[in-house]
Amino acid sequence: MKTISSPRAGERAAISKLAAIIGSILLLTACAGEPPPSAFPGMSVYGDFAYLANNFHLSKWDLKSGAQVWQFPATQDTATPIGPFSGTPAKYGDWIIIGGSAGLNGGYDRHVYAVSDATGAEVWRFTGVREFVDGVVTDGKLIFAPSGDGVLYALDPSNRDTNGEPRVAWKFQTGNRLWSRPLLADGRLYQASFDHTLYAIDAATGQEIWRFDTPNAPVAVQPALRNGVLYFASFDGYAYAVNAADGTLKWKSPVDGWVWTDPSVGDTLLYMGDVRGRVYAFDLQSGERKWHFDALDSIKAHPVLANDLLYIVSMDTFVYALDPLGAGRDSNGKVDRNAAKWRNETLGRRLMTTPVIYGDNLLVPPLDGEVKIWSLNAKTGERGIRMPAAPTGTTMP
C-alpha cells in the first residue's frame, strides 16, 4: 500500500535527511579508514627490491617473487599516527630514508625517517618544522632534505643527539616551500624553490653559489644536468636552460601549463610534461619545441627514456610508450595518441609515480587501489606480475 506522510512529518523528514547527510559526511571524515592520498607517491629500485612510499606506508617489494617484504609502519599507532609519506625513498647504507608529507586538511608529518632495509623497523627520525614532500637525496655522508618550511637541511646521521636524531650539519634558507628534491652533481646542490628561484648551493658548506630567478612563479622540479647545462621548468609557463657554472640563461621556451615533472634529457631532446596533460620535446641546444603529445589528464611523473622509447604515465590512467623523436607527428608537431608505440590502461587507476625500468619490465605503481605495483613488458606493454598477487581463484583483470 502506498503511504503518504503527513506534511509536518514530511518537513521533519526533509530536515532529518539533511542532518543525516551532513552527519554522515562528518562521520565519514572523522571515522573512515585510510584517507585518500594527498601527495605524490614515489618509488625507487635497488637491486631486486622496490621501495614504494605511498600515502600512509613505505613498503619494500621483492621484484623476483612479487611479495611484500615489509611495510613501515608495520601497524599504525592510532594515538600518534605517522605519515603520510611521499617522494622517492633513498638508500643510505643499510637504511631507507623517507620524508613525512603533507596530508589532507592541512595536516602534515614533519619528520624524516630512517628505516632498516632488513626489517622495516624505524632506526631514527629527524624532527623538522614542516613536511618533506619529495623525499631526500644523499651523497653517502650527508642527507639533504628539502622541507615545506623553505629550508634545505643537511643532516649528518654520523652525528646524532641523545634522542638519536641526526644533527643538522648546515641549513639553507629559501623564501618559500621546497617541494622538490635538489639535484646533487659535482659537489653542488641545485635546489628549486616556490620562491620562484633555482639555487646553486655548495653541498659541503651550504653556501649559496648563484641563484637564477624565474620572474613569475614557483619552481617545483629537480633540474636535469647535461653537458654543463641545467634544464628545468616553472609554473610560469616556460622551460629553461641555464648554465650550471654561473646560472646564466641559455634559452627559455614556452609551455602551456604548470610543469611539475622533472625533465628527462635525451641525446638531442629534452622532455617534460605539464599538469594539463601535455608532453613536450625541446631541442637541447635551441629550446625549439620539436613535438608535443596530449594525454587525457595531468602528467606528474617524470618521462622515462629507455629501450628507444619514451615512457609517459598520466593521471588519465594510461601508460604511453612514445617514439622519442616524435614519429608520426603532424605539421603542427602534434603526436597523435594512436601514434604511441603502445599504451596500456593500468586498472583504471591514476598514475602519478615515475615508473622504473627493471630488466625487461617497466614497473608502474598506481596511485591507489589494491595493486601497488604493476610490472609491464617494457617493449609491448603486456601485463606481467602484479604486486601483491591477485588472491587465489581470481582472474587477472
Phi, psi of 238 (to 5 degrees): -140, 145
The radius of gyration of the chain from alpha carbons, rounded to an integer in Å, stands at 23
Does position 179 interact with other proteins (CB under 8 A)? The reply is yes
Span interacting with other proteins, options 157-165, 251-259, 301-309, 380-388, rule CB under 8 A:
251-259
Site string for other proteins, 282-321 (x = CB under 8 A): ----------------x-x---------------------
Shortest reach from residue 106's CB to other proteins, in Å: 4
Judged by beta carbon, residue 22 or residue 74, the one nearer other proteins is 22
Does position 353 interact with other proteins (CB under 8 A)? The reply is no
Q: Which segments of 64-187 are extended strands (E)?
A: 68-72, 85-92, 95-100, 111-116, 122-127, 137-138, 143-146, 151-160, 166-173, 183-185
User: Does residue 15 sit in helix, strand or coil?
Assistant: helix
Judged by beta carbon, residue 255 or residue 376, the one nearer other proteins is 255
Does position 175 interact with other proteins (CB under 8 A)? The reply is no
Does position 236 interact with other proteins (CB under 8 A)? The reply is yes
* Complete edge-to-edge strand list for the sheet that includes strand 68-72: 42-46, 49-54, 57-62, 68-72
Shortest reach from residue 194's CB to other proteins, in Å: 6
What's the rounded Cα separation, in Å, for the pair 370 and 259? Answer: 29
Does position 6 interact with other proteins (CB under 8 A)? The reply is yes
Choosing from 92, 235, 251, 282, the residue that interacts with other proteins (CB under 8 A) is 235
Does position 151 interact with other proteins (CB under 8 A)? The reply is no
Report yes or no: 143 and 136 within 8 Å, Cβ to Cβ: yes
Choosing from 276, 334, 343, 383, the residue that interacts with other proteins (CB under 8 A) is 276
What's the rounded Cα separation, in Å, for the pair 373 and 69? Answer: 14
For other proteins (CB under 8 A), the number of binding residues is: 53
What's the rounded Cα separation, in Å, for the pair 182 and 179? Answer: 10
Shortest reach from residue 31's CB to other proteins, in Å: 11
CB-based burial of residue 237 (10 Å sphere; 0-12 exposed, 13-18 middle, 19+ buried)? middle
Does position 52 interact with other proteins (CB under 8 A)? The reply is no
What's the rounded Cα separation, in Å, for the pair 95 and 115? Answer: 5
What's the rounded Cα separation, in Å, for the pair 354 and 262? Answer: 10
Does position 8 interact with other proteins (CB under 8 A)? The reply is yes
Does position 101 interact with other proteins (CB under 8 A)? The reply is yes
What's the rounded Cα separation, in Å, for the pair 62 and 16? Answer: 52
Does position 37 interact with other proteins (CB under 8 A)? The reply is yes
What's the rounded Cα separation, in Å, for the pair 251 and 243? Answer: 10
What's the rounded Cα separation, in Å, for the pair 296 and 165? Answer: 44
Span interacting with other proteins, options 64-72, 235-243, 320-328, 379-387, rule CB under 8 A:
235-243
Does position 72 interact with other proteins (CB under 8 A)? The reply is no
Does position 257 interact with other proteins (CB under 8 A)? The reply is yes
Site string for other proteins, 372-391 (x = CB under 8 A): --------------------
What are the CA-CA distances from residue 173 to residues 191, 195, 261, 386 (Å)? 11, 11, 23, 42
Provide the binding-site residues for other proteins, judged by CB under 8 A. Answer: 2-4, 6-8, 10-15, 18-19, 22-23, 26, 29-30, 37-40, 86, 101-108, 133, 176-177, 179, 194, 196, 215-218, 235-237, 256-258, 260, 275-276, 298, 300
